[in-house]
Amino acid sequence: MQDSPPLIALQGITRVYGQDETEVRALDGVDLTIRAGEFVAIMGPSGSGKSTALNVIGCLDPPTSGRYLFNGVDVAGLDRDQRALLRRHYLGFVFQGFNLLPRATALENVELPLIYKGLPRAERHARAMRALDQVGLSGRSHHDPSELSGGQQQRVAIARALAGAPDLILADEPTGNLDTHRSVEIMELLGQLRARGGLTIVMVTHEDDMAAYADRIIWMVDGRIARDTPTARGKSHAV
């Protein structure tokens, strides 16, 4: 297993915005390796580069320099359309604000990325229902977001990410809009999905208790990785 390439390998990644007096180095020589099946939390103060790192990993923002290998493939060598295909077929996204269509049902929201994949209606429906079942919402498939609690809306968003059968889930502050009880439910759900399906999860969070659900915590400061440490959970998995 260790002989296979890591799912994610960032090598000397920089991301620079502006130039001269307005230059901002959001990422400044980041080296990071994440293997398939890991659950990694990225933390740091505002402006530390954690969201930029997530955007680079998600192929939403190209690096200024350095190499990004996804499962051994150099992402920098891909054009815009190829990066879009990589996102569509291998990545799933979960956001703090849920990003659900308000006038669409839970089922229709989960089906949306499958439409972009060009899947036939019957297959879309089956995949979406299976994903809703995975997050415990099969009985809510015909409810729209206004009829769901915040925790249930985030479960729909997770189901939408799962429906495309991704290798990697990228979660940006997935519990930021939830109370403590719902936050714990979402983190336990992510952990269960990882354990059952072998998903790799990379999550940005500012909450220590949520980061504790990960295997590793990457702490960023001024665009650089200051610490990369295993959590108690990660240490127990390594035993």
Q: Domain of residue 156: give its range.
A: 36-52+80-238
The CA radius of gyration of the chain, in Å to the nearest whole number, is 18
Asked if residue 24 is part of any domain, the answer here is no
Asked if residue 213 is part of any domain, the answer here is yes
Q: Which residues of 199-231 are buried (b: 16+ CB within 10 A; e: fewer)?
A: bbbbbbbeeeebbebbbbbbbbeebbbeeeeeb
CATH code for position 228: 3.40.50.300
Mean pLDDT of 103-131: 92
What is residue 2's predicted lDDT score, i.e. its pLDDT? 52
d(CA 226, CA 30): 10
Q: DSSP state, 45?
A: S
What is residue 197's predicted lDDT score, i.e. its pLDDT? 73
At 152, the amino acid letter reads Q
Within 13 Å, how many C-alpha atoms sit on residue 222's CB side? 1
pLDDT bin (cut points 50, 70, 90) of residue 1 is: very low
d(CA 201, CA 198): 9
Asked if residue 19 is part of any domain, the answer here is no
At 51, the amino acid letter reads S
d(CA 113, CA 163): 8
| Surface-to-core class of residue 26, CB atoms within 10 Å of its CB (0-12 exposed, 13-18 middle, 19+ buried) | buried
Q: Taking the CB of residue 10, how many other CB atoms lie within 10 A of it? A: 23
Asked if residue 71 is part of any domain, the answer here is no
Q: Give the number of domains in the chain.
A: 1
- For 62-110, the pLDDT digits (tens) are 999 999 999 999 998 888 899 988 998 899 999 988 899 999 999 999 9
pLDDT bin (cut points 50, 70, 90) of residue 198 is: confident
Collect all residues with Cβ–Cβ distance below 8 Å to 170 and sequence separation of at least 6: 54, 57, 58, 91, 92, 93, 94, 202, 203
Mean pLDDT of 135-162: 94
Asked if residue 67 is part of any domain, the answer here is no
- For 199-230, the pLDDT digits (tens) are 999 999 999 999 999 999 999 999 999 999 99
- For 4-52, the pLDDT digits (tens) are 789 999 999 999 998 888 889 999 999 999 999 999 999 999 999 999 9
Query: What does the mean pLDDT of the chain come to?
Result: 91
Asked if residue 188 is part of any domain, the answer here is yes
Asked if residue 84 is part of any domain, the answer here is yes
Task: Say yes or no to pLDDT of 155 above 90.
Answer: yes
Asked if residue 12 is part of any domain, the answer here is no
